[in-house]
Structure 1
Amino acid sequence: MRLLDSAILLVSLPLIGSQKVRMRSSLVCMNGERSGGHCVCNEDYVGVHCEKKKMCDSYSRSSKGTCFGCMPGYEGEYCENIVCGHGKVHENGLSCSCDLPYSGPFCDYLAEGDVYRFYNNRHYKMGPLGVLLIIPMCAIYYGCEWMARKKEVKRVALMLEDQTHLTVRKDTVKRLLDIDV
């Protein structure tokens, strides 16, 4: 069995090696020149394929080409990485995929129309479930209001009885509390 595995490995080695050669020969340098199987980038670009632009906030660079400060929305040694406030970096690494309702190049902008559309759509989807939740909540609310009103009438009646030493009718207190002044 070992002999068979060794034979398969020996036959496949030239194929594996030729695959690596093909991959090196298909290397594309977007903003630079190919040299020795890798890209040599132009002055303001970095990355394996020279696809990322340096977003430095000034033209001054260190001796290694790194930035002293980055433009807003970028970070990294060469200011090549985009920062997405409310979202994820797109798979190309050059832009953001924003979470709703955020938009803009760095997912930090909230447009009023986008916010309304997002929450209206959310409520529309929750509509039937919302009705089932609102009915019991309304019943609980009005039940609590009724109990609070009943306790208020009882409390005022007891207070009047203590102050006047007279018997006070609760329906009279209720009518007095209902009068708008």
Structure 2
Amino acid sequence: MKKITVYCGSNKGRDSAFEAGAKTLAKELIKRNLELVYGAGKVGLMGIIADEMLRAGSKVYGIIPQSLVNIEVAHLGLTELTVVETMRDRKWLMAEKGDGFIAMPGGIGTLEELFEIMTLNQLGYIQKPLALYNVKGYYNKLLDFLSFSSQEGFLRQEQLDSLIVSDDAEWLLERMAAYTPKYIPKWEVK
């Protein structure tokens, strides 16, 4: 793994633990000489993790649609800023550039990105590690729902098991580095 795509909020959240978590994750990425791919925002958790990485001299690649550049939320101090036409283009390029994915706390956009990567892995379009950085138990209720979905037969347990989940950034990145796909679509098994 060289580049990690991080999905996170364009807001900081109410608890300072989320900001601290973003800084901790940045420090762990820096320690491992990993590069950041993210949504190019200068605001919220997005801006915090990017700024931490940049202060340390790490490479940060941002991908943002022109409409968000127009409302001045783009971080202009990145190693590389790619401006695309649509959110769909942004998501695909972020998925393509990353060697692994981490979803930090965030809102609907973060959840959409998380589920898109889960789907791409499920369908075999990619086979890359996906982690939930579960700061302050942020994803606990979502994990309960996903477990329920699996129990009801709508999500294979193997796919659920392939999620790497922790509130410890160091442990999370160690598991991602050791990742081997646990779920391979049956139609690809020979």
Q: For the superposition of Structure 1 and Structure 2, which TM-score range results when normalised by the shorter chain?
A: under 0.3
Which entry has the higher C-alpha Rg, 1 or 2? 1
Using CA pairs below 8 Å that are at least 6 residues apart, which structure has the higher relative contact order?
2
TM-score calculated relative to the size of structure 1:
0.20
